[in-house]
Amino acid sequence: AAAKVKEKMYKIAAHLLEASLDDMEVREGRVWVKGTDRSLSLTDIGMKAYWNKFDLPADMESGLEGSFTYDHPYTTAPSEDRKDLGVFYPIMGHAAHIPIVEVDIKTGQVKFLKYLAVHDVGTVVNPRSLQGQIRGGIAQGIGVALYEEVRYSPEGQNLTTTMNDYLVPTVAEVPHIEIYHYVTPSPFTAYGVKGGGEGGRMVAPPAVTRAVEDALKPLGVKIDELPMTPEKIVKWVTQAQAKTP
């Protein structure tokens, strides 16, 4: 997709600079005619692409976008009898999370002592962006595990229609997260990249759940319901203690 955008930028620049497409090169945020001082900024090209169609080549549509669908060689469709459901995700990242928590059995409050996350997303292209994506995903996962719940009245009325009712973790609730990367490049993608968005969001809820359950293991508490609100935790602890001889 990026290659298609680059090709279109070159065509627009070549047309406006009255030069050969083969003489275009991009550097320092501009498209240059090789061996000359003639150039256009990427901003100027973008403005022409979106706001001035009359300056574009006659056969070119407005806009500066590109799309591409990659057909992985190991992707398979489901069989007719549905015994084989096919392989839809042959490329994916992997993650392991270790949240360490402390649970107050009197109040049901869960306190994070530490949160470690190890991710393998293949080649890391943009470390800063990836860090933010993983942290944001973990924050969402903590919300699923401890806070976020849609509740209805007996009449079917949604009781969680505002941020006062539907709780999400804020900066005060999300712990410091230690993130480490184990790089195993994919042989099937450009630059060896894998998915970086799934690990944080999908791994955090079960990891936090198991951490809370492990903290309450001496009491015999088994957790099979989310979110683990303070009220529920107190209830589970009370029920477990009532069963203890």
- Which are the catalytic amino acids? 198
Strand order across the beta sheet in which 24-27 lies: 24-27, 30-33, 39-41
Paired strand residues for 96: 118
Q: Are strands 39-41 and 110-120 parallel, antiparallel or unpaired?
A: unpaired
Burial class from Cβ neighbours inside 10 Å (0-12, 13-18, 19+) for residue 196 reads buried
User: Rounded to whole angstroms, how far apart are CA atoms 138 and 132?
Assistant: 10
Phi, psi (deg, nearest 5) at residue 48: -65, -40
User: Rounded to whole angstroms, how far apart are CA atoms 10 and 38?
Assistant: 13
Q: What is the DSSP letter of 79?
A: P
H or E segment and range at residue 42: helix 42-51
User: Rounded to whole angstroms, how far apart are CA atoms 90 and 240?
Assistant: 43
Tokens representing 204 are: 């955090």
Dihedral angle over CA of 17, 19, 22, 23, nearest 10: -70
What's at 152, amino acid-wise? Y
User: Rounded to whole angstroms, how far apart are CA atoms 137 and 147?
Assistant: 15
